[in-house]
Structure 1
Amino acid sequence: MSRVHDMGGRFGDGPVEVDAADAPVFKEDWHGRALALTLASAALGKWNIDTSRHARERLAPQDYSRFSYYEKWIAGATDLLVETGVLTPEDLDTPEAEAPRHELADRALTPERVARVLSAGGPADRTCDVVKMFKPGDKVRTLAKAGNRFVDGGHTRLPSYAAGAVGEVVRFHGTHVFPDRSAHGLGEAPEPLYAVAFAASDLWVVAEDDGDEVILDLWQSYLEPAP
């Protein structure tokens, strides 16, 4: 069963609104602070990017539907801070000036460290012994049912709209951390990662344009050879 965030191609949500080239990066000042808080919290080393994504995905459906983009980020980070024991619900209600020095204070992402940390990023490419099965030009079919096969309702990068679809490998990205396991503390389990192109008309009964295609980055265990 999919979660509320898995809405790609859903009918009735309207067109994607594209901002003008000269539009500000953040529409509201607090949007930038929300991003900064999320990144600074992650820098404490208590979770990884896949865990962070899943925290936003598993927000209560009524909250996910009504929250704005950066409200989802704040809610996900807040949940993780409490779940990992960094903060308590009481801490969240305590004014900063009254809060005692935190045991993780020395790991805080200070302004002078920001550029270095962001430029380093969080590379997910790894070496592994899993044999590469596909190459560009190969036809592949995704699993008939999208979903995490290790954790009920867990994180996965195979969207439900592409389940059971046939596409063509257009690029091999190397071997990368497998998010279905990484998001849940089950190890990195790296495996081959491919860019796979699908005709939009093969994904939806009514495509916006018959010539459109969708390219998804998909891990090898999501795929099987297509005749």
Structure 2
Amino acid sequence: MTRVHDMGGRFGDGPVVPEGEDAPVFAEDWHARALAVTLACGALGQWNIDTSRHARERLSPKDYTRFSYYEKWISALADLLVEKGVLTREDLQGQGAAGLHALAERALKAENVAGALAKGGPADREGGPAPRFSPGQAVRVRIPADNALVEGGHTRLPQYAAGAQGYILRLHGTHVLPDSSAHGLGEAPEPLYAVRFFARALWAHPEHPDDEVVLDLWQSYLEPL
């Protein structure tokens, strides 16, 4: 399945131009507000990071390709707020009912922001299936590079890696599986590996064939060789 957001290694999108060290953290004032609103809404506890990523991926191709980074964030957030019943379309248009919201007590206060950001959202877990692979072992990425649980669902497996042979670099431990977590199917934690690939294994005409690319891939994304 072709996914408009799955742009890694794709030809025709032009070079990646890194910003200089003196570039501002936010290019526009509203970018900071978009980030703040997104974090504040996430603190309401109605979705997780995988759900929010999938919301951005589900923007229409037309919108996804023309929106800037934070436009994607704020547009997907509006979709999530309505989908999860937190707000209505009328609320977003400033025409909703007045009064205290049912989730008001979960509001992220200014004095708690630093602590919330420092805490983050760790995804490592105990338990789960035993690791199948060990460092140095050759593996192949499964085909297709789609969510195996939900048709058209969220996955962290990039399309350009489908079918490629790589080598286990290290085991990161057991982590929440985004393919499950994004769709309310539970955390389904499983081993997560750093897998190294030669550029020539990923692309037909790499500029530097012997360059190495390291991808973090869940166990269910991989097959033994």
Q: Same fold (TM over 0.5)?
A: yes
Aligned to 1:37: 37
C-alpha distance in 2 between matches for 1:28 and 1:99: 31
Aligned to 2:75: 75
User: What CA deviation, in whole Å up to 9, does each residue of 1:67-118 have, x standing for no partner?
Assistant: 001000001111111100000000001179x842211111111110001111
Q: Given that residues 128 and 188 in structure 2 are in contact (C-alpha distance below 8 angstroms), is that contact kept between their aligned partners in structure 1? A: no
Q: Given that residues 125 and 175 in structure 1 are in contact (C-alpha distance below 8 angstroms), is that contact kept between their aligned partners in structure 2? A: yes
Q: Given that residues 142 and 164 in structure 1 are in contact (C-alpha distance below 8 angstroms), is that contact kept between their aligned partners in structure 2? A: yes
Q: 1:210 Cα deviation (Å)? A: 2.4
Q: 1:58 Cα deviation (Å)? A: 0.7
C-alpha distance in 2 between matches for 1:16 and 1:199: 20
Letter in 2 for 1:222: Y
Aligned to 1:116: 115
C-alpha distance in 2 between matches for 1:21 and 1:75: 29
Aligned to 1:52: 52
1:204 maps to 2:203: yes
Q: 1:208 Cα deviation (Å)? A: 2.7
C-alpha distance in 2 between matches for 1:75 and 1:51: 14
Q: Given that residues 128 and 174 in structure 2 are in contact (C-alpha distance below 8 angstroms), is that contact kept between their aligned partners in structure 1? A: no
- TM-score, structure 1 as length reference: 0.96
C-alpha distance in 2 between matches for 1:63 and 1:101: 33
Letter in 2 for 1:180: D
- TM-score, structure 2 as length reference: 0.96
Q: Given that residues 143 and 224 in structure 1 are in contact (C-alpha distance below 8 angstroms), is that contact kept between their aligned partners in structure 2? A: yes
Counting only pairs closer than 5 Å after superposition, residues 156-171 of structure 1 correspond to structure 2 as 156-171=155-170
**Any unmatched runs of 5+ in structure 1?**
none
C-alpha distance in 2 between matches for 1:189 and 1:157: 14
Q: Given that residues 91 and 99 in structure 1 are in contact (C-alpha distance below 8 angstroms), is that contact kept between their aligned partners in structure 2? A: no
C-alpha distance in 2 between matches for 1:199 and 1:211: 6
C-alpha distance in 1 between matches for 2:52 and 2:77: 7
Q: Given that residues 3 and 58 in structure 1 are in contact (C-alpha distance below 8 angstroms), is that contact kept between their aligned partners in structure 2? A: no
User: What CA deviation, in whole Å up to 9, does each residue of 1:28-58 have, x standing for no partner?
Assistant: 1111111111111111000000000000001
- Indicate the RMSD between aligned Cα atoms, in angstroms: 1.3
C-alpha distance in 2 between matches for 1:179 and 1:56: 14
**Any unmatched runs of 5+ in structure 2?**
none
C-alpha distance in 2 between matches for 1:170 and 1:119: 29
Q: Given that residues 155 and 183 in structure 1 are in contact (C-alpha distance below 8 angstroms), is that contact kept between their aligned partners in structure 2? A: yes
Letter in 1 for 2:108: L
Aligned to 2:138: 139
